A and B are shown apart, each in its own frame.
Chain A
Amino acid sequence: MPEAPTPHSIDQYRHDYEEGIGLRGFRSGCGFVTATWGLVCPRCGRRDLAEATLSGKGRIVAFTVQNVPGDEFLNDAPYAYVVVELDEGGRITGWIDGIRTESQLSEGQRVEWAPTYKPGVHFRPHEPSSSAPP
């Protein structure tokens, strides 16, 4: 059996999102939330970071459609790279497949985490028929 990742490690963050277990992050005493690993809050310097399990639901803040892919996404281009503001606060980056032009996305558009067998944090546009609130 593969070794379990060390708690609060980058490996654990990666393991959990790639296995579809959940998106991890932390919430600092100052209210800052991030999905990027760290030991001390980059905003206020506090060390009392509470683990935050993130829903993966949020809105697009900025995006690009990449026609030239990264080396782990060679068969996926074009695809969107997105910065998402999560409902819990804090931002995370990820990618959305099947996006060919900017006109398919918009600022403020709702998206949700949709794990796949492919690498990285994968999102899909929110489907109104799903159970989550818009």
Chain B
Amino acid sequence: MRETWVIGAASNRYGKMAESGREAATRVALAALDSAGIDPRQIGYTFVSNAFGIAEKQAHVGPLINTGLGIPEVPSCTIESACSSSSAGLHEAFVHVAGGFCDAALVVGVEKLSHLDTLAATSYFAMGADFPFETRNGATFPGLYATLANAHQRRFGTRPEQLGAVAVKNHANGAQNPHAQFQKPITLETYLASPVIASPLRLYDCCPFSDGAAAIVVAAREVVRSPPAEPLVIRASARSGSVADMQDRPTLTGLPATRVAAEKAFRQAGLGPAQVDFLEVHDCFTIAEVMALEDLGFYAPGAAAAAEADGETQHDGKRPVNPSGGLKAKGHPVSATGAGQVVEIFEQFNHRAGGRQVPRAEVALAHNVGATGGSCSVHIFGRR
């Protein structure tokens, strides 16, 4: 297997895009290629994620992006894995490049839902769940994670103030990120006063609906000559799945897919949690960040919420988590989210993260979940 690097990365500001997903994706892809210092014609494969492209009446967007980049002959395919779509795309790009099937690959994720009303957007999100056996029985996406939060609270005594600490921290980080959808800090009082969406989750426990696009360029070390930015060495690229319906899983206080992907990734990298300097994790809801830190092995089950409240996960804390603001404040443009996490790690490694710069950026982990954990990606990055 060839050593494989991320040599370029870019995203737009998440929130509401005036342009179409196709335009935004092409624009950020070109920015990522420019940041890598390579010509589009050096790309051997484009992996595109656009799970809800149908909401723009557009499928098969890969050839459109490649044509817009002046590389119509380059093969492309669409990778869909709900909210973990573009990290799945990164995994496929890694497999292609590390396996020698191409020297460089482009990973693009994009989503545009802001032209839909809230009900329609909620319905699109719910499509990641099991329609006849979850959604049809009344579940919304917040409802599914709220059920997990309910189980976690009863098992471990997780308190609203501790979940609130996650929201406050991620909004504070988002306020330092020019690409974040929410750039305003919130207080614990604001959090506690926000309405309950699905008990125990309040409005400020939930990530927003977001438009956005992110792209990364992956290349084999042996073909990279003088990268303009410090590359990320992909030390591990792991994916896993689990029983799709959470009621049929052995636990409701964590996501088995995260545990499996983390074990694979740490084994692949030859590292453990203690060697990881900072993380971008899938915090579609505050409880998801807490469970992720436990399932990834950074905290014992039931211990992460207290660590969050103690400030350990702040961007200048013992173990920074989601310095970008996470899905919670940076935003969650479904298919762009996984690639966007890598954009943040790329910025951190290049010391371009401004007020949210973590103190040490030698090893980082990205964790991206599809729906309620039917699929999961864990990537570990290091320096050359």
- The answer on A and B forming one complex is yes
Measured CB to CB, the nearest residue on chain B to A119 is B136
Residue of B123, B130, B151, B196 touching A67 (CB-CB under 8 A): B196
- The B interface is mostly helix, strand or loop, or mixed, namely helix
Measured CB to CB, the nearest residue on chain A to B142 is A68
- Any A CB within 8 A of the CB of B270: no
B139 touching A14, Cβ below 8 Å: no
A67 touching B248, Cβ below 8 Å: no
Q: Which of A45-53, A58-66, A125-133 contacts B (4 or more CB under 8 A)?
A: A58-66
| A63-101 contact mask (Cβ, 8 Å, vs B): 1 or 0 | 111111111111010010101000000111111000001
B248 touching A34, Cβ below 8 Å: yes
Q: Which of B12-20, B76-84, B197-205, B302-310 contacts A (4 or more CB under 8 A)?
A: B197-205
A28→B132 CA distance, assembly (Å): 21
Query: Residues of A within 8 Å of B, CB-based: how many?
Result: 38
A69→B138 CA distance, assembly (Å): 7
Mark B residues whose CB is within 8 Å of A: 119, 122-123, 126, 130, 132-140, 142-144, 146-151, 154, 195-201, 243, 245-248, 252
What are 30 contact pairs spanning A and B, CB under 8 A?
A36-B245, A36-B248, A42-B243, A42-B248, A61-B252, A63-B150, A64-B149, A64-B199, A65-B196, A66-B140, A66-B142, A66-B197, A67-B196, A67-B198, A69-B140, A70-B126, A71-B123, A72-B136, A74-B119, A81-B144, A83-B246, A90-B248, A91-B247, A93-B134, A93-B137, A93-B138, A101-B199, A102-B199, A120-B136, A121-B137
Mark A residues whose CB is within 8 Å of B: 10, 13-14, 34-37, 42, 61-74, 76, 79, 81, 83, 90-95, 101-102, 107, 119-121
Q: Beyond the given A64-B198, A66-B138, A101-B199, could you list 14 further A-B residue pairs with CB under 8 A, ordered by the A residue number?
A: A14-B136, A35-B133, A36-B130, A36-B248, A64-B199, A67-B199, A68-B198, A79-B138, A81-B143, A81-B147, A93-B139, A93-B247, A102-B199, A119-B136
